[in-house]
Homo-oligomer: A and B are copies of this chain.
Amino acid sequence: MNKNIRTDLAIEARELTGGKELSGVRVDTEKSDEMTISRVRIENEAGAEAMGKPMGYYVTLEVPRLKEKDPKLTEEVSKNMAEEIKNMIDLPADATILVIGLGNWNVTPDSLGPKVVSRLIITRHLMEIMPDKFNTENGIRPVCALAPGVLGITGIETSEVIKGLVEKVKPQLVIAIDALAARSMERISTTIQIADTGVYPGSGVGNRRMGITEETIGVKVIAIGVPTVVDAATMANDTLDMLIGQFTRQAKPGSDFYRLLQDLDKDEKYKLIQEVMSPFVGQLVVTPKEIDSLIDNTARTLAGGLNLALHPGISYEEVSTFLQ
Contact = CB atoms under 8 A, between A and B. Distances in A.
A228 to B, nearest CB: 11
A272 B292 contact: no
A186 interface: yes
A124 B161 CA distance: 14
Interface in A124-149: 124-126, 142-149
A267 to B, nearest CB: 13
Interface string A56-74: 0000000000000111100
A206 B290 CA distance: 10
Interface string A14-57: 00000000000000000000000000000000000000000000
A93 interface: no
A319 to B, nearest CB: 9
Nearest to A185: B280
Given A106-B293, A165-B156, A278-B185, A70 B287 contact: no
A122 B205 contact: no
Nearest to A148: B146
A3 interface: no
A13 interface: no
Nearest to A256: B257
A288 B126 CA distance: 21
Given A278-B185, A291-B108, A143 B124 contact: no
Tell me the dominant secondary structure on chain A's binding face.
helix
A155 B123 contact: yes
A152 interface: yes
Nearest to A250: B260
Contact of A154 (B122, B288, B290): B122
A285 B162 CA distance: 34
Interface string A270-311: 001101111110011111111111001100100000000000
Interface stretch (A82-90, A195-203, A234-242): A234-242
B143 A155 contact: yes
Given A108-B291, A257-B257, A238 B317 contact: no
Contact of A280 (B206, B236, B288, B323): B288
B156 A146 contact: yes
Nearest to A157: B125
Nearest to A123: B155
A247 B268 CA distance: 12
A161 B154 contact: no
A311 to B, nearest CB: 13
A284 to B, nearest CB: 6
A125 B155 CA distance: 5
Given A257-B260, A296-B324, 11 more contacts: A70-B321, A118-B153, A124-B156, A142-B155, A145-B153, A164-B164, A185-B277, A186-B279, A243-B272, A284-B288, A285-B289
9 contacts: A71-B317, A118-B153, A145-B153, A146-B148, A160-B169, A188-B280, A229-B289, A232-B286, A285-B287
* Closest 3 pairs between A and B when the two form their complex, measured CB to CB: A164-B164, A144-B155, A124-B155
